[in-house]
Structure 1
Amino acid sequence: MSEIPIEKFAWLILFLPLVSVALISLIPGIKSRPRVSAQISIAAVVVCFLLTSILYFVLQNSGQQQFPQITATWLQVDYLRIDIGLKLDALSMMMMLIVTGVGGLIHIFSWEYMKGDPGYSRYFACLSLFIFSMLGIVMADNFLMMFIFWELVGISSYLLIGFWYERPSAADACKKAFLTNRLGDFGFLVGILLVWATLGHRLNFDALKQYLDKHTLEFAGVATAAGLLVFCGAAGKSAQFPLHVWLPDAMEGPTPVSALIHAATMVAAGVYMLCRIYFLLDVSGSHALEVIAWIGGITALLAAVIAIQQNDIKRILAYSTLSQLGYMVMAVGTHGPTPAMFHLTTHAFFKALLFLGAGAVIHAVHHEQNIWKMGALRKKMPTTFVTFTIGTLALAGCPPLSGFYSKDGILGQAMETHHYGLFILGLLAAILTTFYMFRLVFVAFYGAPRSEAADHAHEAPGMLKWPLIILAVFSFIGGVIGIEGVYGKFFEPEKVEHVASWVDGIMAPINDSPLAAAFGILAFLAGIAAAFAFYWNKMVDPLPEKLGFLSRLMRNKFYFDEFYEHVLIPCTQEALAKLANGIDRWIIGGFMVRGTQGTTEFIGRALRLVQTGSLQTYAFLLVAGVALVLYLILAR
């Protein structure tokens, strides 16, 4: 370990993407040469991935769970000390590999996909800013640093979702994402302040954990409130009900941006944060985890139901992301940070694959996104078809692909902790996930071409294909390469058992939780059978006629957007406006401003009465004062 400049590597990993942003944005000679901008951005993220890989293997070979703390003091005022600290442990380094590895493949895919766009250089500068922001969240060793980078991720997402800002829909989508996340972030900030005030004015995660171990009773009274307030930040970033409405509209950005937001960065930040501060949630007497688990379960099922009647290929995948994030949050709530992070990792592989595959399809059919205007693409795009199908199978939980292992871990966790209601919600969501994903595959890749663009589609060029192939490989093998063991050793080192062989790894779900695994396989088979029955060789969607009003509800996302726009927001705005007006008029303007002015004026008028300029008056007041003093002395 001493031979590796760990501290230098860590700072380089964090700041290389920011250097890329500065070079692309501030040097005119680079900004005016789009391909050079892309090369700088890609080089920065690839170097970050290589450095992270080196540090990860050094850490694994050392037999330790983390490197020594890397800290630089930012400012110190009295007892408040604010550090910029880098936390390099098994949890953060696995997440860094996801961010830089999957993010790097998305960068490479974007090289070809965004070619010819007038904002090409700006696009790669925004990508680098996004990677820098996400790495800051992952590497942060304290709440304040995490919150700063948390907000930077919000700004980055605003810039990328609204990349084509000349489109009104894109401008509205980025504002919606930004404002929705601000609601969650407000709760997050209040939660941080509550933790800071309760636990000895500490912000560092290790210091908080050590203090909490010794002073649990001090925190018990506010543990539920603090946990749920901090969870508000995760609900915003990871788009949990009822703050889920921004994520589907984030599809207005370029497709690689959707892959970046939905797979490797922004939406994963909320789940990662919950796992990082899990010690604050899992406190005796706290009910925060119970609430978190049910919000995750409801989100998983709600998003899956809505996805059934979406026709935009990117929007289907967006609701799929919502549903899978619900699974991860549910896992955390059922005392399972290990299965949550395991599913986060495998999801990064197959969801990035699906979004980039969708991008290749959209690129091939001249930017058409309606699946009912596609068809027969498996013959036109064989590589995209095979890789997309692998991603679909992994997402649906087909054994032995990665999604089977990670999703089975979540279902098994719910059953093991006796959350049977959540287990049923997860199982229903699993059936629907398989159903709507194979609906997409059958309609887009099978049957007859439904448009001229689909009839003349062609396979993606090499620069688009290679990221798909690499992600397909990890989507296939990701469940059996030891990822779960890394997280298990970090969160529950005393429970991790040695795996004798790779066969044991393949059979682990069946050995550990056979009933959950059996139900998971049945859910997959039921979903694919239903999709085949309804959508094989169909030219139009049969469900709207069969479901009627329910189909319209699904297609219109249960009218959440309309409810927020026409009911909740106006009522809230009116109430807030009246409250602000009352505070301004009666407290600030009345009591504070006019009260202070009136009091000063009254005292001034009273004092002015004794300033008469008459000697007789002054003599009288002097004698009266002396008499009053004598009376007070003699009266004792």
Structure 2
Amino acid sequence: MFGYTIFIMLLPLLSFIVLGLAGMKMQHKVAGLIGTCSLGMVTILSYITAFQYFFGLDRVNGVYQTFVPYNFTWLPLGNLHFDLGILLDPISVMMLIVISTVSLMVHIYSFGYMHGEKGFQRYYAFLSLFTMSMLGLVLATNIFQMYMFWELVGVSSYLLIGFYYPLKPAIAASKKAFIVTRFADMFFLVGILTFGYFVDSFSFNFAGDIVMGQGTTPFIEGNLAKAVAAGGFIIPTALVLMFIGGAGKSAMFPLHIWLPDAMEGPTPVSALIHAATMVVAGVFQIARMFPLWIEYAPQAMSIVVWVGVITAFYAAAVACAQSDIKRVLAFSTISQIAFMMVALGVSLPGHHGAILDNHAQLGYMAGMFHLFTHAMFKACLFLGAGCIIHAVHSNEMALMGGLRKYMPITHITFLISCLAIAGIPFFSGFSSKDEIITACMEYSPVVGWIMTGIAAMTAFYMFRLYYGIFWGTENKEAHAHHTPHEAPLTMTIPLIVLTVITVGVGVYTTIAGFAEWGGSFGSFVSAAGTDYTIHFNMQIAATSTVIAILSICLATYIYKGEQQPIADRLYATFPKLHRAAYKRFYQDEIWQYVTHRIIFRLVSTPIAWFDRHVVDGTFNFLAWGANEAGESIRSWQSGDVRQYAVWFITGSVALTLILLCI
């Protein structure tokens, strides 16, 4: 039925191979067309898959079936084996839509943004590799396959962030992203190996039967039972270790430091990394392993909750003080990804024998739905930022202001995306954000109100950004030699498409209700297999909407005018706080101190001394001893037959005397 899904993986892989090997011999437009057409076909196949899966199949007892059209053993290792295949369930099919849509928009947008850039063909080859890696990650049938593509995503991000390799900041940013995420991935790998050793499986088949290409394979509880019998801490430990890997990839505090610097890459790459691919990989990992978290490690989910809460608040506070528009959006992404983590973390164990009750389903659904909505409006924001940078040749808000007169399409699409992320009704962020807050309130009023406050901060800093770019005082000196202008159609059409999705989804979910969207995700993890109904909590929705509007009004009052006396007064009153937030609360400096002064000096240096003087010294001594021994008996092997005869006769006489004495 879903046999064609193999081409979703093969087409971007083929595009990468062709562009990687022959791209430099092609014209720019030909290379771009190959990459874009490949992604266009992938997008069509993804939408066909989603339509057929969600609307063309009947649910069994209210639960969507999980299909594995392809799966084969790659490396057999006794009871364990590494498989490669394709798994289709509600969250993987939803991710197909997200990844293919945003990636296609980025491919089209890059025609205009990267026009004339050296390495244009190489850029499209890397985009194809990145997209293929993320598609392989979300379609993985087992956790080891996920890890393989997880690392490919890391390599792809390294290549794209460092695309402008002649520039030292780009090289430093790419190395920083690679090293930090590899450090986190070490924990992910240890968690995978721990899980595989005790469970005897890497499979994702946690929650019932799956429909294979040639029949139905039942889920065997014995493996998990064995792990539980070996110790109740085994599965929670493995899951927490995997979460550290996900926290690194999704830039959770304190492993977030690579993401703001990743802005050194081309702006379309920033949209791809932040909106639909790399940074949501950690959220997807938690969602994929969600039945195990709920059933075997519910207490450990508090780690996910509080890491998410701390990260969301920290990133929102830093975003309020940034002047680089891409860094504002980068910290916004960190905060919004943390919202998704919190939503998954506040999902509680169900009652009456079910894995999930309605509340737990709410948290899970809200987190995954926010992943979908955030991908669309954040991609629009980043691509809009690219249009602005393309027009003024700078990332700094001080060199902008008044751009609404020159860039009407970018202005409208950017404004709509700001309203969406602020959580205003009839925009897509409203439904997902409010359901996250509702789930948080049911988990803990403290967490709920903290997240409400962070949502208010989000509305504030996004409209601070909006007014700083499109209103305020126009910097005529910066525009004297180059009048800003609207971007070409190749750049504005993706903005319009993403805006239409943002508004369309927002209007539908606001009017029709959240339950229809959530049902697809909730039914996947509902062991009871029963339908349920979730409605808006009108009190929470009204409260958060009022708070968001007040935050927007506050940002309007402070930043809309040509003069900003209140902002200047606040800066003068709290200069140290502002500088600390601008410097990201000195997290980079702290990491530099920890790595250089503590790890390198107090840990690495003694280990290096021990390695050089003890380990190397021991083997050097053995080599010296063997060499000296060889030198001492070297004269015994002179090649002189008379000398050998003397030694032979002497030895024979000595042995004869010894035997006679005995």
Task: Calculate the TM-score normalised by the size of structure 1.
Answer: 0.88
The separation in 2 between residues aligned to 1:49 and 1:464, in whole angstroms, is: 19
Q: Structure 1 residues 435, 580: CA separation in 2 closer, same or farther (over 3 Å shift)?
A: same
The separation in 2 between residues aligned to 1:537 and 1:20, in whole angstroms, is: 49
Matches within 5 A, 1:170-319: 170-200=170-200, 202-206=201-205, 210-211=220-221, 214-215=225-226, 216-218=228-230, 220-284=232-296, 287-319=299-331
> Partner residue of 1:630?
none
Q: Percent identity?
A: 40
Task: Render the CA deviation track for 1:449-470: whole Å, top value 9, x for unaligned.
Answer: 1234557222222221111111
Q: Displacement of 1:498 after TM fit?
A: 6.6
Q: Structure 1 residues 519, 581: CA separation in 2 closer, same or farther (over 3 Å shift)?
A: same
The separation in 2 between residues aligned to 1:447 and 1:95, in whole angstroms, is: 39
> Partner residue of 1:502?
none
Q: Which residue of 529, 532, 543 corresponds with 2:556?
A: 532
The separation in 2 between residues aligned to 1:319 and 1:622, in whole angstroms, is: 93
SS at match of 2:67: coil
The answer to whether the Cα contact below 8 Å between 2:291 and 2:525 also exists between their aligned partners in 1 is: no
Amino acid at match of 1:203: F
Task: Render the CA deviation track for 1:28-86: whole Å, top value 9, x for unaligned.
Answer: 5x643111000010011110111111122222211243223411222224333221121
> Partner residue of 2:407?
381
The answer to whether the Cα contact below 8 Å between 1:306 and 1:557 also exists between their aligned partners in 2 is: yes
Q: Displacement of 1:588 after TM fit?
A: 4.2
Task: Render the CA deviation track for 1:230-251: whole Å, top value 9, x for unaligned.
Answer: 0111111100000001111111
Tell whether 2:74 aligns with 1:47: no
> Partner residue of 2:161?
161
Task: Render the CA deviation track for 1:571-609: whole Å, top value 9, x for unaligned.
Answer: 11223424533653587447788689989x99xx9xxxx
The separation in 2 between residues aligned to 1:329 and 1:252, in whole angstroms, is: 26
Tell whether 2:481 aligns with 1:486: no
SS at match of 1:62: coil
> Partner residue of 1:392?
418
SS at match of 1:68: strand
The separation in 2 between residues aligned to 1:258 and 1:189, in whole angstroms, is: 27
The separation in 1 between residues aligned to 2:165 and 2:528, in whole angstroms, is: 52
Task: Render the CA deviation track for 1:257-308: whole Å, top value 9, x for unaligned.
Answer: 1100000110011111110011232244553211111001100000000001
Q: Displacement of 1:545 after TM fit?
A: 1.6
Amino acid at match of 1:459: E
The separation in 2 between residues aligned to 1:240 and 1:622, in whole angstroms, is: 84
Q: Structure 1 residues 464, 413: CA separation in 2 closer, same or farther (over 3 Å shift)?
A: same
What runs of 5+ residues in structure 2 fail to find an aligned partner?
59-63, 208-218, 348-362, 510-515, 633-649
> Partner residue of 1:469?
496
Task: Render the CA deviation track for 1:612-633: whole Å, top value 9, x for unaligned.
Answer: 9477777868998xxxxxxxxx
Q: Displacement of 1:102 after TM fit?
A: 1.2
Q: Structure 1 residues 490, 80: CA separation in 2 closer, same or farther (over 3 Å shift)?
A: closer
The separation in 1 between residues aligned to 2:614 and 2:85, in whole angstroms, is: 42
The answer to whether the Cα contact below 8 Å between 1:307 and 1:319 also exists between their aligned partners in 2 is: yes
Amino acid at match of 2:449: I
Q: Displacement of 1:388 after TM fit?
A: 0.6
> Partner residue of 1:450?
475
Amino acid at match of 2:453: L
The separation in 1 between residues aligned to 2:72 and 2:422, in whole angstroms, is: 45
Amino acid at match of 1:391: S
SS at match of 2:82: strand
Amino acid at match of 1:278: F
> Partner residue of 1:580?
607
The answer to whether the Cα contact below 8 Å between 1:220 and 1:285 also exists between their aligned partners in 2 is: no
Q: Which residue of 358, 372, 376 corresponds with 2:398?
A: 372
SS at match of 1:223: helix
Q: Structure 1 residues 622, 395: CA separation in 2 closer, same or farther (over 3 Å shift)?
A: farther
> Partner residue of 1:324?
336
SS at match of 2:88: coil
> Partner residue of 2:540?
516
The answer to whether the Cα contact below 8 Å between 2:158 and 2:175 also exists between their aligned partners in 1 is: yes
Report the number of matched residues. Answer: 599
The answer to whether the Cα contact below 8 Å between 1:223 and 1:286 also exists between their aligned partners in 2 is: no
Q: Structure 1 residues 85, 312: CA separation in 2 closer, same or farther (over 3 Å shift)?
A: same
Task: Render the CA deviation track for 1:147-168: whole Å, top value 9, x for unaligned.
Answer: 1111111111011111111111
Task: Render the CA deviation track for 1:427-459: whole Å, top value 9, x for unaligned.
Answer: 121111111111111121123312345572222
More displaced 10-residue stretch of structure 1: 480-489 or 398-407: 480-489
The answer to whether the Cα contact below 8 Å between 2:251 and 2:257 also exists between their aligned partners in 1 is: yes
Q: Displacement of 1:536 after TM fit?
A: 2.1
Amino acid at match of 2:35: S
> Partner residue of 1:633?
none
The answer to whether the Cα contact below 8 Å between 1:488 and 1:496 also exists between their aligned partners in 2 is: no
Amino acid at match of 1:378: R
SS at match of 1:282: helix
More displaced 10-residue stretch of structure 1: 444-453 or 124-133: 444-453
Task: Calculate the TM-score normalised by the size of structure 2.
Answer: 0.84
More displaced 10-residue stretch of structure 1: 348-357 or 521-530: 521-530
Q: Structure 1 residues 523, 496: CA separation in 2 closer, same or farther (over 3 Å shift)?
A: farther
Q: Which residue of 441, 446, 460 corresponds with 1:435?
A: 460
SS at match of 2:241: helix
Amino acid at match of 1:407: K
More displaced 10-residue stretch of structure 1: 455-464 or 157-166: 455-464
Amino acid at match of 2:294: D
Tell whether 2:438 aligns with 1:412: yes
The separation in 2 between residues aligned to 1:163 and 1:522, in whole angstroms, is: 43
Task: Render the CA deviation track for 1:354-405: whole Å, top value 9, x for unaligned.
Answer: 001111111122x221112211222221111111111001001111211111
SS at match of 1:27: helix
Tell whether 2:19 aligns with 1:24: yes
Q: Which residue of 388, 413, 416 corresponds with 1:361?
A: 388
Q: Structure 1 residues 340, 438: CA separation in 2 closer, same or farther (over 3 Å shift)?
A: same
The answer to whether the Cα contact below 8 Å between 1:196 and 1:203 also exists between their aligned partners in 2 is: yes
Q: Structure 1 residues 495, 430: CA separation in 2 closer, same or farther (over 3 Å shift)?
A: farther
The answer to whether the Cα contact below 8 Å between 1:198 and 1:219 also exists between their aligned partners in 2 is: no
The separation in 1 between residues aligned to 2:77 and 2:601, in whole angstroms, is: 40
> Partner residue of 2:647?
none
Tell whether 2:554 aligns with 1:555: no
Q: Displacement of 1:553 after TM fit?
A: 0.4
The separation in 1 between residues aligned to 2:441 and 2:657, in whole angstroms, is: 94
More displaced 10-residue stretch of structure 1: 419-428 or 118-127: 419-428
The separation in 1 between residues aligned to 2:653 and 2:505, in whole angstroms, is: 100
Amino acid at match of 1:157: S
Amino acid at match of 1:432: M
Q: Structure 1 residues 52, 219: CA separation in 2 closer, same or farther (over 3 Å shift)?
A: farther
> Partner residue of 1:401?
427
The separation in 2 between residues aligned to 1:623 and 1:513, in whole angstroms, is: 106
The separation in 2 between residues aligned to 1:592 and 1:483, in whole angstroms, is: 66
Q: Structure 1 residues 77, 398: CA separation in 2 closer, same or farther (over 3 Å shift)?
A: same
SS at match of 1:164: coil
Q: Structure 1 residues 477, 493: CA separation in 2 closer, same or farther (over 3 Å shift)?
A: farther
Amino acid at match of 1:394: A
What runs of 5+ residues in structure 1 fail to find an aligned partner?
500-507, 606-611, 625-636
The separation in 2 between residues aligned to 1:31 and 1:326, in whole angstroms, is: 44
